[in-house]
């Protein structure tokens, strides 16, 4: 199956655009841009519409000239991207990341910098620092910076992934980070899907996810992360991509979670069919809402009119008992 897919894959440079539905090798930057002949959306946008609101999508969409400023990637996002690069090989690591060696000297202090600005020369103590960081900053320009400790974490994560037979099966593929792009027949919107692994293994699609558990129950934490971030929607979109672009079907979709803190546990998850069905319903709803917004300019938020608040039943029950026991006064209604 992998060989048949390989024959259909085209390669695009960052200066090219998608001109027709298909499977493509392209950079992550090109994939996340408006690279299609018309308005496009990936699972990130669909998940915002489905799990948050059309407003949440539109205010961060590159289709919106008045969108909010793009945020700088946080440490967790940088670590996740770097883990993908080193573990899956989906990007050339040195082209996108650099890391500060553990024996790197401190940067020049504010006092040393002010002295340099006055005299034009670094002091004997500051000169080695300045030379190192000038060379490092020039080399790392445009790349995301990792610490030596983060690189060490990724090494441990990779070791534990390779020791998990289920994770190895799910993530073993000659076809990683292939972008599948098609035009939705009902709305005309271009849709993009980029799972980590395409079918050349026992699973149809698989994605590697890094997570920092919020509780000691790691399995529950991974399941909650799947719900909170809409990862099932992401995998259901890959199924639709297989049907539209590759002319095939897909059923088994997996997520491989790896912990970003000690002990770097691995939690493989398979999405069940009922969940994938409802995820496809949410995808259809998201595309319909996007099409409506593009047509009308209406991007509603989560509140539909005035939200009514009432004490929860448990509190009302407790108040009633306290009133009966004389712990709260009785008033006429």
Both structure tokens of 163: 């020791």
Both structure tokens of 179: 């972008």
| Mean pLDDT, rounded, for 246-267 | 87
Span 138-157, pLDDT tens digits? 888 877 778 778 888 888 88
Residue 279 falls inside a structural domain? yes
pLDDT at 177 over 80: no
| Mean pLDDT, rounded, for 59-88 | 82
Span 74-110, pLDDT tens digits? 777 777 777 777 777 665 677 778 888 878 899 999 9
Co-location of 188 and 272 in the same domain: yes
The total number of structural domains that make up the chain: 2
Both structure tokens of 158: 């990779």
Co-location of 237 and 149 in the same domain: yes
| Mean pLDDT, rounded, for 12-24 | 92
Residue 330 falls inside a structural domain? no
Chain-wide mean pLDDT for the chain?
87
Co-location of 106 and 218 in the same domain: no
Co-location of 65 and 203 in the same domain: yes
Residue at a domain's end among 142, 170, 205: 142
Residue 321 falls inside a structural domain? no
Q: Of the ranges 43-57, 72-86, 113-127, 253-267, which one carries the lowest mean pLDDT score?
A: 72-86
Residue in this structure with the two tokens 């539209």, named with its chain if needed: 244
Co-location of 114 and 247 in the same domain: no
Asked whether the bond before 255 is cis by omega within 30 degrees of 0, the reply is no
Between residues 44 and 199, the one the model is more confident about = 44
Structural domain of residue 116, as residue ranges? 94-142
pLDDT at 61 over 90: yes
Helices (H), ranges, the chain? 2-6, 28-31, 43-51, 54-58, 75-87, 93-96, 110-119, 127-140, 148-162, 165-171, 218-229, 231-241, 273-296, 313-324
Confidence at residue 5, expressed as pLDDT on a 0 to 100 scale: 55
Residue 311 falls inside a structural domain? no
Q: pLDDT category, 173, cuts 50, 70, 90?
A: confident
Helix (H, G, I), strand (E, B) or coil at 287: helix
Co-location of 62 and 102 in the same domain: no
Co-location of 66 and 171 in the same domain: yes
Residue 253's closest CA among 199, 320, 215, 180? 199
The Cα angle at residue 234 between residues 229 and 239, in degrees rounded to 5: 155
Residue 303 falls inside a structural domain? no
Co-location of 262 and 133 in the same domain: no
Residue 87's closest CA among 172, 212, 202, 184? 172
Q: Of the ranges 88-92, 120-124, 187-191, 194-198, which one carries the lowest mean pLDDT score?
A: 88-92
Residue 130's closest CA among 142, 121, 139, 119? 121
Span 109-141, pLDDT tens digits? 999 999 998 988 999 888 999 999 998 888 888
pLDDT over 90 percentage in the chain: 53
- Between helix 148-162 and helix 75-87 the angle, nearest 10°, is 50
Co-location of 35 and 149 in the same domain: yes
pLDDT at 165 over 60: yes
Q: What is the pTM of this model?
A: 0.80
Span 278-313, pLDDT tens digits? 999 999 999 999 999 999 999 999 998 899 999 999
């Amino acid at each position: 199956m992998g060989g048949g897919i390989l024959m259909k894959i085209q390669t695009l440079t960052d200066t090219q655009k998608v001109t027709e539905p298909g499977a493509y090798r392209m950079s992550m930057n090109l994939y996340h841009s408006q690279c299609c002949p018309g308005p496009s959306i990936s699972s990130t946008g669909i998940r915002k519409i489905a799990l948050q609101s059309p407003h949440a999508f539109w205010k961060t969409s590159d289709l919106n000239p008045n969108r909010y400023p793009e945020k700088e990637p946080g440490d967790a996002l940088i670590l996740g991207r770097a883990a993908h690069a080193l573990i899956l090989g989906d990007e050339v690591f040195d082209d996108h990341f650099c890391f500060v060696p553990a024996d790197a000297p401190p940067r020049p202090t504010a006092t040393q910098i002010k002295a340099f600005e006055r005299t034009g020369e670094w002091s004997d103590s500051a000169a080695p620092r300045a030379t190192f960081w000038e060379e490092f900053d020039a080399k790392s320009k445009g790349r995301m910076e990792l610490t030596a400790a983060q690189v060490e974490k990724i090494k441990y994560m990779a070791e534990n992934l390779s020791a998990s037979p289920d994770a190895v099966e799910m993530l073993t593929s000659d076809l990683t980070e292939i972008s599948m792009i098609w035009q939705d027949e009902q709305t005309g919107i271009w849709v993009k899907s980029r799972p980590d692994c395409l079918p050349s293994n026992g699973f149809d699609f698989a994605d590697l996810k890094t997570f920092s558990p919020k509780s000691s129950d790691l399995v529950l934490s991974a399941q909650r992360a799947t719900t909170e971030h809409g990862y099932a929607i992401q995998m259901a979109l890959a199924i639709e991509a297989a049907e539209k672009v590759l002319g095939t079907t897909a059923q088994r979709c997996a997520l491989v979670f790896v912990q970003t803190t000690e002990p770097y546990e691995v939690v493989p998850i398979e999405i069940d069919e009922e969940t994938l069905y409802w995820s496809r319903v949410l995808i259809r709803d998201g595309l319909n809402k996007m099409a409506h917004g593009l047509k009308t300019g209406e991007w509603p938020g989560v509140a539909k009119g005035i939200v009514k608040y009432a004490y929860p039943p448990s509190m009302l029950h407790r108040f009633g008992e306290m009133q009966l026991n004389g712990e709260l006064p009785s008033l006429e209604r």
